[in-house]
Amino acid sequence: MKKGFLLILLAIFLSACNPVKDSDLVIEQEEIITNSEKFEAFIENLNNGKEDKIRIVRRTTEGDPIFDTLDYNGENITYTHDNSHDKYADSSKGTQSGTCENIDNEQSENERIYRLSGCSSEIGKYFELEVSD
């Protein structure tokens, strides 16, 4: 009985320490490893003028999560970059946001590259997502 209780406490502790959610699109070593269909649905909703929101998680070399949130309100995309969980972030550590007009994409040899365009601040210029074909 004690062992089961300790396992439950450990699971609660670990989930509190891990801010990554099951619904997040997770990228490791520049490859989408979970929920790639959520990004495809986000792009489709954007193209159809339907509100949607997606959170993309990238891990640093040390394993710390960095969050990029794209929140489409039917007209503009609010892009939020959050590296507050990165233990080794520089002076720009924290959350930064900006509004962008669209997501452009271009086809390369084996992938499609998505970038934000028409952004109100510099932060939007740093978003880039490569999706393998």
Percent of the chain with pLDDT over 90: 39
Spatial distance between the Cα atoms of 78 and 76, rounded to a whole number of angstroms:
6
Reported as a single tens digit per residue, the pLDDT across 72-102 is 999 999 999 998 988 878 777 889 999 999 9
Supply the pLDDT for residue 10.
Answer: 37
Average pLDDT value for residue range 5-26:
51
What domain range is 68 assigned to?
22-132
Tell the residue number behind the tokens 């801010």, with chain if given. Answer: 19
Does residue 15 lie within any of the structural domains?
A: no
Does residue 11 lie within any of the structural domains?
A: no
Asked whether the predicted pLDDT for residue 6 surpasses 60, the reply is no
Does residue 6 lie within any of the structural domains?
A: no
Does residue 5 lie within any of the structural domains?
A: no
* Domain count along the chain: 1
Does residue 114 lie within any of the structural domains?
A: yes
pTM of the entire predicted model: 0.77
Does residue 86 lie within any of the structural domains?
A: yes
Does residue 14 lie within any of the structural domains?
A: no
Supply the pLDDT for residue 33.
Answer: 55
Asked whether the predicted pLDDT for residue 21 surpasses 80, the reply is no
End-to-end CA distance of the chain, in Å? 49
Spatial distance between the Cα atoms of 93 and 90, rounded to a whole number of angstroms:
6
Reported as a single tens digit per residue, the pLDDT across 36-65 is 788 889 999 999 999 999 998 888 888 888
Burial class from Cβ neighbours inside 10 Å (0-12, 13-18, 19+) for residue 103 reads buried
Backbone angles phi, psi at 130, to 5 degrees: -105, 125
Spatial distance between the Cα atoms of 66 and 97, rounded to a whole number of angstroms:
14
Does residue 10 lie within any of the structural domains?
A: no
